[in-house]
Structures are given as structure tokens and as C-alpha cells.
Amino acid sequence: MEESAKTKKEIKEEKKREANRKAAAENMQKKQAARFDENGKVITSYDKKVEKRKKEAKQDKRNEFILKICAAVILTVIAAGLVFSVGRKTHERFGTAVTVNGEKIGRVEYDFYYNMSVNNFLNTYGAYASYFGLDTEKDFAKQTYQGDETWDDYFNDGAVTMIKQTKALSAEADKNSFEYDVTGDYDDFNKSIEDAASEEGTRLSVYYKDAFGQYASKNKIEKYVKQYLRATAYYENYSKNITFTDSEKKEYYEANKDTYDVIDYRYLEVSDVEKANEMLNLVTDSDSFKSLCTQYAADDVKSEYTSSDKSLVTGTSKSGVAGGTDVASWLFASGRAEGDKTVITTSSDPAKTYVVYFIKRYTTDAQNTIMEDNMKNEKSEEYLEEIIKNMEAVSGTVKLYEAAE
């Protein structure tokens, strides 16, 4: 009887597991079917966004990671060893994958940019990709990125965005008679490919396919690589030559001074609020703070404050303040003056108590350089968004599908 009951239980569990597997399979079939319209065309996430915007009239922020072209050229991706084989297969080699601004983009070119989209993401986030919910060992089309969008949708978006950017920048380079010889960059690119293939023990022809698509080869992607390299060079040249007036720099600084100012201050973690307040009352200047640290520091670290000026912090930005945001907020508060002092008990868990002494706030040449570089980057991004904002992307006739694992 006991063995019979156990068998029935196992049968019941097996039926339950089978039902779950069947439901999962049906759900996946529905998702796969949703990728195509009634004419067999790929329904990209661009099509979905257009429809969604018509209905909801609001901006989709799904492409925040890929709104700008990668500042580092493709060589960085290859040299970093982050070339990723997408493993995409097709049953149709020829035809139009997508039409961008009236230009038909074929399968080889589209695959080049799709893989670039993947490689740029991995080059940026590398081992942290899993934190975004991406498993690089599994089919992108079977992993949810956001809502009903998959990671395959995300990288398709990235490919179309990069195509738009490259075409728009190429047109701008032509319009502005931009002269640039890509020979050196292209030769370096090919050398990097050859070295990477050799290091992996892979035939060069196979490496090109793994890195840039099923139908890729050195000759087939040459035109697209050179166009990309020239477009990137033009974009970098445009950014480098942006200039700002003194008033523009001042206005930007005033709006972002907490980001670019640095400070000098002293701080000490104290065991309890009572001792912290006792020390605070004895602090009269920076030197007295230093001396008192040897008395109020925890026993196990007292020697560190005796042998060095450990409480002093110089030239740190707001994001680098020891003690966290509570301490940083006080130090960078408007009107903070030299000699200001306080006791701060943080809101963190566990809470910590600090005695803090403010010395001074200022800017450095290095911070000013960073600020101007950021101003150029923002201006460049605005320019890039402007030149692609009216470019349309329409799905083509090439029907894509994921290979079985």
C-alpha cells in the first residue's frame, strides 16, 4: 500500500511537470510568432515602438544605453577580446533587412551592426551583463529585457540606431568635405582580427562569421567597416573642435558645481554620539581636530592617527566623500564655510557617527578639463540626436529566426 501510494504521487508530480513544460512551450511559440506580421516580415521593436507611440503618445526610453555611437573605435572591442558570436542563422541570405531613411540595408550589413550592438554592450558592461538579466550563453530572443521586449529586440534596436548614426554622420562628413584616410585604421582592424583568430586557434574565415554574422567575410564587410571608421572619425573630430565661451562655461559650472568642485576636510568615526559631541566641543581648528583623533579614535586604530594624518582628506569630489551621502550633503551644502564642524549620524544600516570639520572648497585644472570634456560630449550627443531624429526605419523582407539550441 505504501509503495502504491508513492507511485501515484510520483505520477501526479510527473503530470504536473509535463503540464508546465507544455505551457512554457506554448508561451514561447506565441512569442516567436509575434515576431512576424501576416506577410512574414520581421516585426522589429522599432515597429512596436511606432505603434505604441501612436496609441500612448509618449517617449519610449528603452534605448538609453545606445543613444550615442561608441566613442572608441571597433578596434577596442576586438582587442579587448569581447567579440561575441551571436549564432544567428537565416533561411534567406538576400533581401532587405531594414530600410533606413530610404536606403535598403542588406543582410550582411545588418548583421555587422547587430553584432556591433552586442559587442558594444559587452565591451561596456562585460561581466556585469548578468546584472541586467542577460545570459550570453542563451538565446537572446528567449530572454526578457523589459516588458514584452526581448534582448534580441534590444540589440535589433541597437543595430538600427547605429546604422542611422553611421549613415547620418557619413552624410555630414560628405557635406562638410571631411577628409580622412581610413587606411591605417582599417589595416589595424584587420591585423587585430587576424591576431584574435590566431590566438583562439580559429580559421580567419570562421572568425569573421562568428564575430560579424553568418555571411560575413573580410571582403564583404570591408565597405561597412570603412564607413563606420570614417563616421566615427568625423564624430570625434566634430567633438574635439567644439568650443565654448567663458560665459557658457561659467553658466554650465554654476549649474553643476557639486559635480566638479572638490573639497578638503577632516573626519573621524566615533563610537557614540556622546563622545562625538564631546570631541566636537573641543575642536577649535584643523590642527586641534588632528590631535583629538588620537584620543577619540577607536582603540584598535589609534596608532594610525598617531603615525599619520589619517583624518585629513584633500581634493575629493562629492561622490568620493568618506562616510557616504549624509556626510557629503553636509560638506557640499551651499554656504559651507571654513571651520564649520558638526556631528553626523548616518542613515545607513548600520548607522555610523562621524565628527566632521570643513576646510575648503575649490576647483582644479583637472576638474575643469573634465567639465569641458563633458560639455563637448553633451553637445556632440545633441548634434547626433538632431541629425538622426527625422530618419525613418522600416522592416524589410528578410525573415530571421533563432537557431535551435
Q: What is the CATH number of the domain that holds 357?
A: 3.10.50
For residue 69, what is the DSSP state?
A: -
Q: Same domain for 68 and 206?
A: yes
Q: What is the pLDDT of residues 230-278, one digit of tens each?
A: 999 999 999 999 999 999 999 999 999 999 999 999 999 999 999 999 9
- Asked if residue 316 and residue 206 are part of one domain, the reply reads no
SS3 of residue 293 by DSSP? helix
In a domain, residue 356? The reply is yes
What is the mean predicted confidence (pLDDT) over 344-348? 93
Average the pLDDT over 94-104 and give the result: 86
* Domain membership flag for residue 252: no
Q: Which of 38-42, 110-114, 202-206, 269-273 has the lowest mean pLDDT?
A: 38-42
Specify if 46 maps to a domain: no
Q: Is residue 358 part of a domain?
A: yes
HSE-up (13 A, CA, CB side) for residue 239: 22
Asked if 301 and 215 sit in the same domain, the reply is no
Residue 47 lies in a domain: no
pLDDT cut 70: percent of the chain above it: 75
Q: What is the domain extent for residue 392?
A: 62-243+384-401
Backbone angles phi, psi at 188, to 5 degrees: -65, -40
Quick one: 106 and 207 in the same domain? yes
Contact, 165 vs 385, CB < 8 A? Answer: no
If asked whether residues 229 and 289 sit together in one domain, one would say no
Radius of gyration of the chain (CA): 29
Q: Compare 215 and 46 and report the one with higher pLDDT.
A: 215
**pLDDT by residue (tens digit) across 16-59?**
555 555 444 444 444 444 444 444 444 444 445 444 443 333 33
pLDDT value, residue 95: 76
Both 390 and 292 in one domain: the answer is no
- Average pLDDT of span 283-308: 94
Residue 227 confidence (pLDDT): 97
- Inform me whether the pLDDT recorded for 367 exceeds 50: yes
- Evaluate whether residue 184 is within a structural domain: yes
Do residues 229 and 351 both lie within one domain? no
Distance from C-alpha of 166 to C-alpha of 73, rounded to nearest angstrom: 12
Report in angstroms the alpha-carbon separations of 43 from 31, 47, 143, 358.
11, 6, 17, 58
Does 24 lie in the same domain as 74? Answer: no
Instruction: To the nearest 10°, report the CA torsion of 176, 181, 187, 190.
Output: 20
Task: Identify whether residues 326 and 397 lie together within a single domain.
Answer: no
What confidence tier does 93 reach under pLDDT thresholds 50, 70, 90? Answer: low
User: How far is Cα 196 from Cα 221, in angstroms, rounded to an integer?
Assistant: 17
Percent residues over pLDDT 90 in the chain: 66
User: Is residue 56 in a domain?
Assistant: no
Do 22 and 108 share a domain, yes or no? Answer: no
The whole-angstrom separation of Cα 110 and Cα 94 is 11
Residue 379 included in any domain = no
Which band of pLDDT confidence, cut at 50, 70 and 90, is reported for residue 86?
very low
Q: What's the structural domain count of the chain? A: 3
Average pLDDT, the chain: 81
Are 186 and 317 in the same domain? no
* pLDDT for position 40: 40
Residues 236 and 101 placed together within one structural domain of the fold:
yes
CA–CA separation, 50 vs 52, rounded Å?
5
Per-residue pLDDT of 123-140, as tens digits, reads 888 888 888 899 988 999
